Structure 1
Amino acid sequence: MSRNKETHMDRVSVCPCHMREYGKKPSAQLKPPLFVMMEDRMPVSVMCMLKTPKTGRKLKITAENITQTLTRSWSDQSNSTFSNWRSGEPNNAGGSEHCTAVSFSDAGEWTDENCFYQLYFICHSGSSLASSHQYHFISESKSWSEAQTYCRQNYIDLATIDNMTEMNSVMNTVNMSYDGLAWIGQYDDVNSWRWSLDHDDFYLKGERNFRNWNHQPDNSDGNELCVYMNVIDGSWFDVSCDIYLMFVCFDGRENASQKYVRVYHRKTWSEAQTHCREFYTDLASVTNKTERQLILRMFVEITEENDEDKVWIGLHRMKLWSDQSNSSFTHLVSWIYPEPDNGLSIPGLTGSQHCTAVSLKYFGHWTDESCFDQLPFFCYRGEIIYLLYNEINK
């Protein structure tokens, strides 16, 4: 493939764009200080704007290869694991392609490129994040799905909340005119599991979907978002990510002496993930019965005492948002004790509370409720993305 070697940058312009229309494919989210592309929310209008420069079709984004395994990192230290590689990519051609570009002649798919090539690029200004949503309180009571439909027809979607600044904006929208519960866009899907090592090239067809539940998952306390494996019989259980367990790492490095590494230090799931990514490749993915047996053989001496029979694996999930945002904001102190509880504390409702509401009576604290309850709700619109284009002369 021939490549332009332009070096002179003659113009930079700033283009505001309102997020009013969404494409069908996962796409983008903003994280300071740079624009992180193709993650979860990319408006169609922005995709069209990215295609407008006349002197090239490819834009550099800020992911760089940090190991010779499947691990890559983002310039802004985001922990995004989303990828959209073109078939056959990344291939590290010539051993020198360590940065990532989006090819708009290939429907926005990604390629790895030499970091010294002169390409268009996209920056993100963190200043626009302070108040990225405009919230609207709708006093008419509806079920969660009815509220979602209303917001999508008249605004953008049910409210997504990314930080405490936005939580305060939601509260100010009501201005003490209402003190009950109101829907926001967060909901719980107990089947939305994904592996910590989330690279398509790592998995053969069907391997992502291998499971070995034992009458699980049940999300019994409303916040069971991580998975441990019982090393006596290999069965899986969903549980709170905050308990301390041993764990198994996957080592995909070329010089690795073994595929799986057992770690006896007890950590939370996120701490275990960090440890595995720092010293190996990632928390273990278990994609078939053979891999399950390999892990079980590592723990033949384990007995059912003091939680020694439980180890973290890489399967986990997040609370989801109606607009497909991957916001991880929960501000745990804002959950009303013992919320979320998935109806555990209410006779007859156990296992039936999957949608999130804000309690205006209790200072905006969150609670999980039955999605069929009739409540007022918050919509949002007016999110703005700022894109920088750098046009390069041939």
Structure 2
Amino acid sequence: MKDMNELKKSVNDRNVELVWIGLQKTGRDKWQSSSGEPVLYLNWATGQPDGRDDCGMMSNGEFHDLPCSNTRYFICNNTNTGLVFVNQMMNWRDAQSYCRQNHSDLVSVRNQNENQQVQQIIRDRQLPRSGSGSHVWIGLFRVRDSWQWSDQSDSSFRYWKSGEPNNAGGGENCTNVELNAQGQWHNYPCNSQYPFVCHEDKLILIKENLTWSEALRYCRRNHEDLVSVHSDEIQHEVMNVVKGASTEAVWLGLRHSCTVGIWFWVSGETVCYHNWAPGNGTSEEDCEHAVRSGAVQSGGDQRWISRPETDKLNFICSRY
């Protein structure tokens, strides 16, 4: 709703009644991770998914879709202790809630190595090779929302007017906003002509692998600066942007000074707001071997970590 209010404020012409927004019907369902990470690895068994069911499980090292109401054993991910097998049978939603309350989340299987780790846990438990015993829930589910944002961002927020989307005239696959007091949404044919509202992200992920100093020069030459994170709001924006990274960590505008033994932002702010991973961000950095700079993890809890500035990573530029 905050975005909706900003949108309405941005249109100053009172003669404009409808404006396009970037929501379009694509007809595509998609599989998502319970943890919110991008799903880049899907190890489906032959004939899977069959299109009927919405929750993911693993059997014999391969993914299958099942009705979410089925009960199965499951595996949680714990940030501190790793993977935890839960010897209780629950439906997928209850298993997800259990993992979030007692650990971190249902396990994400993001690559072949993690696939083998989960498979080994199932083997170690000596679960029955056939039947539901060998089927273990993982943190994978299908979103049956065929409406997608044009920038590919994830959002479950919808603000349809009552009775919409109705596809009344056929082919009404694009969305506009009625700029009245409510500002609710309608579906219209995409070839209709209306004014529109553009959006520019304040942060931009650069998927080039550069050292910290190279990343700093790139941002200052092409945008404003490497991003400085000094509030919950900016950290939330960073967490949204960093999900698309191709490296396990992403440079921030965070630097360690060996001279005075402190961390500082390149924009000039002091580091008052903290989001360090355990064991990182101390003043006792190893200054003999490499200058240390700050990065944010692209997966997991997306905490800040200390890395040698010669590492080559993706990075985030700020347009502020």
Same fold (TM over 0.5): no
TM range (shorter): 0.3 to 0.5
Structure 1 length as normaliser, TM-score? Answer: 0.33
- Using CA pairs below 8 Å that are at least 6 residues apart, which structure has the higher relative contact order? 1
